């Protein structure tokens, strides 16, 4: 038992020292409009990839999204630009951390909420198979 504990501790230290960085796959990008008004000319690009998403308009409390086959997430973030309801053009690069509780075996979904003040709330969501073997649940 003592050898097992020492072995596990050494493995943990080695993982920290090597900068454990799992490769995640993603299969969806969602832009959620919480601004209270329609936002227009929404454009999203995953940094360092040719993948883009465009929506002519996103109604208030609605979303623009794109699902696609799983691809590796480059962990560079998203470049989001849109026309804010006040007429100004907004553009921002976002790159939230992927929660360490997300297993890399399941794809992640990149979600960006556009708030009323024009600020962004970017985060990740992940679906996992349910414990009973049927369907999916949101983590």
For residue 136, the model assigns a pLDDT of 46
Local confidence band at 20 (pLDDT 50, 70, 90 cut-offs): low
Cross-strand partners of 128 = 137
Is residue 37 included in any domain, yes or no? yes
Count the domains in the chain: 1
Domain membership of residue 49 as a residue range: 23-138
Structure tokens at 81: 């630009």
For residue 135, the model assigns a pLDDT of 46
Structure tokens at 40: 């227009």
Q: What would the pLDDT profile of 115-138 be if each residue is shown by its tens digit?
A: 988 889 999 999 876 554 444 444
With a CB cutoff of 8 Å and minimum separation 6, the contacts of 117 are: none
In angstroms, how far apart are the furthest CA atoms of the chain? 66
- Please state the pTM of the whole predicted model: 0.74
* pLDDT mean across residues, the chain: 81
CB burial of 39-58 (b: ≥16 within 10 Å; e: otherwise) equals beebebbbeeeebebebeeb
Structure tokens at 24: 């995640």
CA quadruple 32, 77, 27, 137: dihedral sign = negative
Is residue 51 included in any domain, yes or no? yes
Local confidence band at 8 (pLDDT 50, 70, 90 cut-offs): low
């Amino acid at each position: 038992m003592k050898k097992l504990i020492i072995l596990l501790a050494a493995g943990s230290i080695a993982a920290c020292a090597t900068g454990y960085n799992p490769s995640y796959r993603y299969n969806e990008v969602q832009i959620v409009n919480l601004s209270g008004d329609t936002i227009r000319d929404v454009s999203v690009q995953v940094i360092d990839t040719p993948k883009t998403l465009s929506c002519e308009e996103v109604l208030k409390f609605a979303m623009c999204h794109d699902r696609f086959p799983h691809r590796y997430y480059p962990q560079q973030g998203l470049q989001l630009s849109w026309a804010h309801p006040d007429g100004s053009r907004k553009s921002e690069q976002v790159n939230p951390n992927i929660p360490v509780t997300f297993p890399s075996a399941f794809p992640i979904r990149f979600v960006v909420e556009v708030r009323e003040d024009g600020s962004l709330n970017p985060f990740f969501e992940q679906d996992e198979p349910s414990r009973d073997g049927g369907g999916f649940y949101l983590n």
